[in-house]
Structure 1
Amino acid sequence: MRLALFVWSWLLVSPGAFAQAPETPTLHTGAQIVVVDVTVLDQHGDPVHHLKPTNFTLLENGTPQAVSQFEEHMATDAARVAAAPALGPGTYTNFPFAPEDSASNILLFDTLNTPESDQAMARQKLIAFVKAARPGTRLAVFTLSTRLTLLQGFTSDSALLLAAVSKSTKVQSSPVLPESIGAEESLSSTVRIPSAEIKGTMRQGEAMQTTAQNRLRVLTTLRAMNQLARYLSGIPGRKNLVWLSGSFPLNVLPNAGLKNGFGATDSFESEMHETANLFARSQVAIYPVDLHGLQNSALSDASSGKYVFGSLSVQSDVDAFSNQKLDEQGTMRQLAESTGGKAYVNTNDLKDSIGKALDNGANYYTLIYSPTDKEKTGYRRIEVRLPAGNYSLSYRRGYYVDDPASKKGVASNADKKALPPPDPMHVAMQYGAPPPSQILFKALVVADARSSDKLAEGNIVASKSKPPYRLVTIAYAANPGDITMPAREDGTRHVDLEFVALVYDRDGKLFIQQSNRINVFARPEAVRDFLREGVRYQQQIAVPAKGEYYVRSGIHDLIGDKIGAIEIPASSIASAPSPSGQMSAK
């Protein structure tokens, strides 16, 4: 367990152990260890057990690789969950308590990409699945609307899971989901317009609006997947993401059959690239489930008002509906194939689809190898083979190795077209967001015994607040194994971290913020302290003494772009003297 690397003391590293870091450090990276989870099914769709490492042939870019570690996982294995560490009073951690030796399962109910007409029935079927789930089924539950929300962390408590899937009972209209083909009654199709030229202009405007909606929908979905992957990063082993959605606008993974896997979607290339890497590193297999089921177009409704004036070709929309359906299901299948999952389409039995997805992801083999080519950058294709036989294999098809030097060059055409990527720390620090676990840490959080009429040093007021304040001290200790510390020729290691604390009210309104950056070179003695005691820092933030507030604190590794965060109700923070003898954040 990575948490065992910590020694739970709270003395900060002496500032004398550091030397000033330059403005622009150089970082070289390469692929070292690759983990591939493989499901193997026979001709009847049943899992194949008891295969040996010698049965598998593993290739990267066509070159055979030696499997250094091999393990079989079966659904019959009893899931063993890490015990909670003994944390003292006022101590919090973002350590995710999930099965250590079996797959972790996540249900994502996507209302952003699901029409209102499909949501109510899907929710009923989801509740039915949880009620009938096999005892001991361990799940986490998320929803996606305009933001990703964690409804329930990993648990096998059926009462908690049922409460989570029942929590959001209101059908939500997606602000970025266009109406179904044949269902919308646009102005150009319902009003008699004498001029064909004017009608064409109106239809062009409507098409442009739909394109803008789809673009925003893709970006929102991508960023939610990015956020989810960061949350799952700290959980060991395979994760099965059962993604329940009525529409899959764009594949978030590269097309392994193309030289440039993102070439068909260049305006989203950088964000898709990052999300693909996060899914690969987090060992996420995606199981898309189409909530449309056996769907008919609105064209089958003879009363559809769109064709009242007969101004549009019914056959044109029939063709458009069929093509859209094929594209979306193709995206689902490619998404599943790219990550080692399976897509479930053309079925109204949602309960059965979820059950099959969880069963499929519970039986797999883990193969670990170190690539023979340590230098190649770009996309690396993975291929797994078995001896002759009627087997069906599912596994992620590749991963990316970045070339740091390319980030310093001229922006590509794709980068110029794309919207500026969001600050991942900004997304991670949103109120109520899933706490990312790429950096595992614990924090001692205490409030001064006396209230204050002033903010803590360096605090920034985002919204007007009134004293008195509770001055809350946050003392961090982060797992050094999660932080990128590249070595330099002089023996030092570069450390570039951002520590952020935010105060929200219960409605998610930001009131006070504090941010501190540590950009240093750590000498060998400091690195030894890191390994022994964790990477430590301390900062202070003021919290209004009256009202309901929440403190969200986090760490951002600016070199490795990894994040860890926690969120604490201010009412749970005990008042005590601030830790003495420690260096305050400046």
Structure 2
Amino acid sequence: MTLFKRMMTILIAVLAGPGLVLAGNTKPYPTPKPIGGLSFADETTVTVVNVDVFVRDKKGNPVESLTKDDFRIFQDGTPMPITNFAALNRDFFVHAFQTPIPGVATPTPAPEVTATKVQIKPIYVIIYIDNMNLRPLDRNRVLRAVKQWVRENLHPPVHIMVVSYNRSLKVELPFTQDIPEVISALEAQKMRTGGRQTRDSDRNEIIDLMNQYIDEEHERPGAGSQNAVLYNQILRLMQSFADEESSDLRFALGALQETIQTFSGLPGRKMILYVSDGLPMAPGADLIQQFASMFQNSSVLTLLGRYDRSQLFRSLAARANSQGVAFYTIDAAGLQMQSDISAENRFTSRLDAIGVGTNNYQDSLRYLANETGGQAIVNTNNFHKGLEKFTADLFTYYSLGYTITTSGGDRIHRIKVEIPDHPEYKLRYRRRYVEKSLETRVEDMVVTGLVFDVKKNPMQVDVTAGTPAPASADQWTVPIHVSFPLRKIAMLPEGDDYVGRVVLFVAARDHKGDQSDLQRQEHEVRIPAKDYEKAKRERFGIDLSLLMKKGGYNVSVGLMDQITRQASYKRLTFYVGLDK
């Protein structure tokens, strides 16, 4: 369990346990009508699936001359008629927002956009600095290029958030369009420590012992038992290294999962610019390969299967695709040379092990980018040029849309896009579309409400906080009251009563960016039929009790009528243990 998770377990523990009090403040109410509430939500509807397609020529330059008729799109192998089409470029965005961009002349008149219907979607970019998996010198070199990229590209419709990770996740800056604020947040990273140096040192110590063993074998070939002790020590240290790196990897990917959740329910295009020195697909793979090579022991290679963590990356990519998030990954280590991996190591590592190590850390970055429709910037010291490709993806792409009749459930669909007449072009796009049930969409909107105020409240839900009461030296109990007009929910006859059923969703986020898990609670509203006429003019209440530490909080609430399937959202901001 990460520090982040531990903190939030304390912070919101009563939401998940006995402290979650859902008390219906009902009074005896009659009902002369068999049902009330809003109109029924149609869960089997026609919806448009939008696919952003990036087309590049052999030199990697954007191709901007294609039309709707050039494309073919397939869902689960079935060709789909393209109903929506737009060919967008940077000139279009400049004119649409009338925003001067450094180095780009404002087009006059407005550029022609080949489209049946153009919807300008907001673009949300999270700059994610993984300090746990970075060397400070590598990070600072990359951030110089990233800061320049921000100065040139942070303009409507782009919003940027800055987060960092070093065993715990921290929101350095929430979504903003303020360039100086983003630059300041990135500057603050320059003095942070990096975890990769410690891992490098541990690796080099093990390699030193390997070389020591080989030297002693040459100098004292008869010292069998003494060398056997050193051999076993190396084997244990190598496996311990792989175990520790595997544990760190799980926490690192868990933090990325939590970051993806920040995007839940957000409309528009969503991207993570992930900066690290790479993540291991198989922790300890380079040392295992080195050991097998130096000691002529191929049996140890079976450990590569034991430490294969590719499934974790598949799960992360699936989560990103479910939220429409694309990964743009940067290997801050830059150009990888086939030489000694560290000046601290006075022995030369085997080239095959170095190759395994480099690929092991870079393959994860390539995989996340490829699976989510992004790009990986690897094996280069020219980060400015790599970020230019990211810029091209932001503003130059084709938007293809096709309609489907939703099933009402959660389903994953395979997508394939072709340009039959131009096989020389390279296409990138998201290869999975996740169709979501109504309840899943409601959950996403509740999480979105922690960051953005969701303006959808047809059931007139209200949320208020009572006075926090001290529960311990550093914790307060906060009473929360959720209410709604009884007439806004549907009720069905059951004997002498009318009964409605709602589902309450609750999540909390402190102003530092730490976030609880989403909690779901079903609740029954039972009213004596004879009292409904009075009841429909009053509000029904649900009481919660939250255990919280000092700080500022957003609590996001979603309420869904299980009969009509209508949903409402409300956010409450309050402070605990502070004067505000």
Which bin holds the TM-score, normalised by the shorter protein?
Answer: 0.5 to 0.7
**Greater Cα shift, 319-328 or 375-384:** 375-384
Q: Which has the higher helix share?
A: 2
Please list every run of 5 or more consecutive structure 1 residues that lacks an aligned counterpart in the other structure: 1-11, 18-27, 82-98, 252-262, 308-313, 404-424, 456-460, 478-484, 486-490, 524-533, 575-586
> Where does residue 267 of structure 2 map in the other structure?
236
Aligned residue for 1:169, secondary structure, equals helix
Could you say which structure has the larger radius of gyration? 2
Paired amino acid for 1:160:
E
> Where does residue 79 of structure 2 map in the other structure?
64
Question: Would the aligned equivalents of 2:270 and 2:325 in 1 still touch at CA under 8 Å?
Answer: yes
> Where does residue 397 of structure 1 map in the other structure?
431
**Any residues of structure 2 matched to 1:261-280 within 5 Å, and which?**
269=311, 275-280=316-321
Match of 1:112 among 117, 128, 132: 132
Normalization by structure 2: what TM-score? 0.61
Write the distance in 2 (CA, Å) between the matches of 1:375 and 1:240.
Answer: 27
| CA deviations over 1:244-273 (Å, ceiling 9, x no partner) | 11113249xxxxxxxxxxx9998774x656
1:229 offset after TM fit, Å? 1.8
> Where does residue 349 of structure 1 map in the other structure?
382
Aligned residue for 1:47, secondary structure, equals coil
| CA deviations over 1:540-583 (Å, ceiling 9, x no partner) | 55879xxx5333534589999xx998765447887xxxxxxxxx
Write the distance in 2 (CA, Å) between the matches of 1:69 and 1:264.
Answer: 47
1:435 offset after TM fit, Å? 4.4
Aligned residue for 1:381, secondary structure, equals strand
| 1:295 lines up with 2:297 in the alignment | no
**Greater Cα shift, 146-155 or 46-55:** 46-55
- The 3 A distance-change label for structure 1 pair 286 and 521 is same
Write the distance in 1 (CA, Å) between the matches of 2:243 and 2:45.
Answer: 38
| CA deviations over 1:95-151 (Å, ceiling 9, x no partner) | xxxx96243333222212223442333334434444565766642222222233222
Write the distance in 1 (CA, Å) between the matches of 2:57 and 2:540.
Answer: 48
- The 3 A distance-change label for structure 1 pair 494 and 335 is farther
Paired amino acid for 2:553:
V
> Where does residue 39 of structure 1 map in the other structure?
54
Write the distance in 2 (CA, Å) between the matches of 1:63 and 1:493.
Answer: 41
| 1:321 lines up with 2:354 in the alignment | yes
- The 3 A distance-change label for structure 1 pair 438 and 354 is farther
> Where does residue 584 of structure 1 map in the other structure?
none
1:291 offset after TM fit, Å? 0.5
| 1:52 lines up with 2:52 in the alignment | no
Aligned residue for 1:348, secondary structure, equals coil
- The 3 A distance-change label for structure 1 pair 537 and 57 is farther
Match of 1:174 among 185, 192, 195: 195
> Where does residue 162 of structure 2 map in the other structure?
141
Paired amino acid for 1:539:
L
Identity of aligned residues (%): 20
> Where does residue 497 of structure 1 map in the other structure?
504
Match of 2:551 among 549, 552, 558: 549
Write the distance in 2 (CA, Å) between the matches of 1:329 and 1:362.
Answer: 26
Please list every run of 5 or more consecutive structure 2 residues that lacks an aligned counterpart in the other structure: 1-23, 32-42, 98-118, 217-222, 283-304, 438-442, 485-489, 491-497, 527-538
Write the distance in 2 (CA, Å) between the matches of 1:493 and 1:337.
Answer: 47
RMSD: 5.4
Write the distance in 2 (CA, Å) between the matches of 1:156 and 1:382.
Answer: 33
- The 3 A distance-change label for structure 1 pair 302 and 109 is closer
- The 3 A distance-change label for structure 1 pair 521 and 115 is same
- The 3 A distance-change label for structure 1 pair 158 and 13 is farther
Paired amino acid for 1:464:
A
Write the distance in 1 (CA, Å) between the matches of 2:67 and 2:333.
Answer: 40
| CA deviations over 1:57-88 (Å, ceiling 9, x no partner) | 1123332123343334332334889xxxxxxx
Normalization by structure 1: what TM-score? 0.61
- The 3 A distance-change label for structure 1 pair 184 and 371 is farther
1:347 offset after TM fit, Å? 1.6
1:329 offset after TM fit, Å? 3.0
Question: Would the aligned equivalents of 1:231 and 1:438 in 2 still touch at CA under 8 Å?
Answer: no
Paired amino acid for 1:101:
K
- The 3 A distance-change label for structure 1 pair 553 and 272 is farther
Write the distance in 2 (CA, Å) between the matches of 1:147 and 1:537.
Answer: 34
Question: Would the aligned equivalents of 2:366 and 2:376 in 1 still touch at CA under 8 Å?
Answer: yes
Residue correspondences, number: 452
| 1:159 lines up with 2:162 in the alignment | no
- The 3 A distance-change label for structure 1 pair 134 and 234 is closer
Write the distance in 1 (CA, Å) between the matches of 2:449 and 2:209.
Answer: 43
